[in-house]
Amino acid sequence: MFLHDMLDRATRLWGNAPALADGAVRLTYRELDDRVHRLAAALQGLGLVHGDHIAVLSLNGFRYMEVYLAAALGGFVVAPVNTRLHPLEVEFILNDGEIKALLLGSAFVPVLEQIKGNLKRIRHFVLMAEEAAPDLYAYEQLLADADPTRLEQRPWREEDLVHLCYTGGTTGLPKGVMLSQRNVVANVHHAIQMAGFNERDVWLHAAPMFHLADSWACFALTLLGAFHVFMEAFQPAQALELIQRHRVTASLWVPTMINSVLALPEARTFDLSSMRRLVYGASPMPPERLKEAIALFGDILLQAYGQTESAPFLTCTTLRGTRPGGDARDIRRLASCGQEIVGVEVRVVDDADRPVRPGEVGEIVARGANVMLGYWKRPEETAAALRNGWLHTGDLATIDEENHIYIVDRAKDMIITGGENVYSTEVENALYRHPAVLEAAVVARPDEKWGETPCAFVDLKDGADGVTAEQIIAFCRDHMAHFKVPRSVVFGPLPKTSTGKIQKFALRDRARELRD
């Protein structure tokens, strides 16, 4: 099975079934299939051939899914571009990724204007909207003019590159993760088995579609003939309204999305009873906050862990062992990102790649058909990541007797103070127990005496403005070893990536520049 077989199957088996809703747009699978054939034929008509790279820069929407599906059909490699990048980073990706055509949403026309003169290979620009704009092909016009009978399909091979997903930028220049047919197809099957998705699911595309947190669902839920609901960008009230209106059964959110919903006073007025699975990932949630989420959504939260390099899923909690009312061990398990999913092997290892003992900190490594081909034009970084036959994730974790994995930190987020390791998530979990704390992040601050000290950035809940740094520090002293207690506390909203991840690199910069 290849990626283009998935829409083909849905259309053959359930052509008249509704495929998607996006605002006022409604399409059946047969209609979606026709549009996808037209888009693929139109791109070929522009001169693109099998193996050419195309990029997408757009907010979420049904056209984003169409591009993924059309590329699979027409033979193109898709590079989905992070919408929150600086124009210069976008320019780097378009050049580095050897992109021949860019499909962009209306919001990103100004970005294109800034960088257009520096783009080396791109010949074609398509505006993914109803309307047209000067110097851009109009998406709907391309579809209307296309002749799907002239579509040429060359066979894919399992090892062929299909997605080029740029990540990072936190440590310098973005790297293109090369995912093959085999990688993406394997993850689709893993995801279906991980959460038991089926043809009756209604999926809300809530996380950004340029990110693997959501893009896999364009294929997996299509393969099953399920129903897609789109939202341009995550807004808590709108998300709940869409769940209620479309009887959404499943979605993948990051913890900040869940936080924003929990902070919504009217959250309980929505009918969320259709929800069957809420997968969350990208970063762990403090157990206290998770319990609140379970109170709102029911016992349907699954923590998944993965990374772009593994297309993405590696571990997931099962509903067994995460009961909030369970015994002490079950409560502890709420903090776990679960166990290896079916189809993937995951280990936690020491520097010599030997499995650590339960409770010891090590690096998460993984192997499976979902592990990337490597980094685009970065043989050294590829070799470093894929050594000894295992993907080395750079994430630090412990593992318990039954292979439940607990992420303690990204390797680069760990704070070393006076020779002691402090895992930022451990301090953050304590901060979240403080009743006034809405969000918190802890990073390393350079220190002459200790090398580094923990520095806390805290966003307080509305009406909690009276809380002082001294009170926060005193609270921490009651909950952890003294060397882990933040030496500095900074109040204010936290900077975030477009996927809702707190931007620790930005906080590290701020911590570096703090005056006492």
Question: Binding residues for a second copy, per CB under 8 A?
Answer: 1, 9, 12-17, 189, 192-193, 196-200, 223-224, 318-320, 339-340, 342-343, 401-403
The phi and psi torsions of 204 (rounded to 5 degrees) equal -95, 115
Closest to a second copy by CB, 5 vs 459, is 5
Closest to a second copy by CB, 96 vs 340, is 340
- The residues, ordered by sequence, that sit 6+ positions from 321 with a Cβ below 8 Å of its Cβ are 330, 333, 404
The token duo for 454 is 């923990």
Q: How far is the CB of 92 from a second copy (least distance, A)?
A: 39
Classify residue 400 as exposed, middle or buried by CB count within 10 Å of its CB (0-12, 13-18, 19+): middle
Closest to a second copy by CB, 13 vs 383, is 13
- Helices 469-477/424-432 angle, 10° precision: 110
Q: Which residues pair with 441 in a beta bridge?
A: 457
161-168 and 174-180 strand pairing: antiparallel
Closest to a second copy by CB, 100 vs 276, is 276
Q: How far is the CB of 105 from a second copy (least distance, A)?
A: 32
3-state secondary structure of 227: strand
Q: How far is the CB of 9 from a second copy (least distance, A)?
A: 8
Q: How far is the CB of 358 from a second copy (least distance, A)?
A: 12
Q: How far is the CB of 402 from a second copy (least distance, A)?
A: 6
Closest to a second copy by CB, 191 vs 282, is 191
Using left for φ > 0, alpha for ψ between -120 and 50, and beta otherwise, residue 293 falls in alpha
Find how far residue 448's CA is from the centre of its chain: 37
Q: How far is the CB of 66 from a second copy (least distance, A)?
A: 22
Apex CA 410: angle with CA 292 and CA 495, to 5°? Answer: 65
The token duo for 435 is 């009743």
Q: How far is the CB of 224 from a second copy (least distance, A)?
A: 7
Closest to a second copy by CB, 89 vs 199, is 199
Closest to a second copy by CB, 319 vs 384, is 319
Closest to a second copy by CB, 93 vs 194, is 194
Length of the chain: 516
CA distances, 447 to each of 62, 303, 484 (Å)? 49, 35, 14
Q: How far is the CB of 405 from a second copy (least distance, A)?
A: 11
Closest to a second copy by CB, 28 vs 503, is 28
Closest to a second copy by CB, 244 vs 318, is 318
209, 303, 214, 300: which is closest to 255 by C-alpha?
303
Indicate the helix (H) or strand (E) that contains 44.
Answer: helix 29-45
The token duo for 80 is 């989905």
Q: How far is the CB of 392 from a second copy (least distance, A)?
A: 20
> Cβ atoms within 10 A of the Cβ of 241, count?
13
| Separation of alpha carbons 319 and 195, rounded Å | 10
Q: How far is the CB of 187 from a second copy (least distance, A)?
A: 13
Q: What is the DSSP letter of 320?
A: T
| Separation of alpha carbons 119 and 413, rounded Å | 34
- The residues, ordered by sequence, that sit 6+ positions from 261 with a Cβ below 8 Å of its Cβ are 236, 239, 240, 267, 293, 296
Q: How far is the CB of 206 from a second copy (least distance, A)?
A: 22
Closest to a second copy by CB, 233 vs 319, is 319
| Helix, strand counts (H, E) of the chain | 16, 26
Peptide bond into 454 cis (omega under 30): no
Q: How far is the CB of 366 from a second copy (least distance, A)?
A: 14
Q: How far is the CB of 193 from a second copy (least distance, A)?
A: 5
Closest to a second copy by CB, 343 vs 394, is 343
Contact 214, 252 (CB under 8 A): yes
Closest to a second copy by CB, 167 vs 318, is 318
* DSSP per-residue letters across 437-473: EEEEEEEEEEETTTEEEEEEEEEEPTT-TT--HHHHH
409, 388, 390, 389: which is closest to 398 by C-alpha?
409
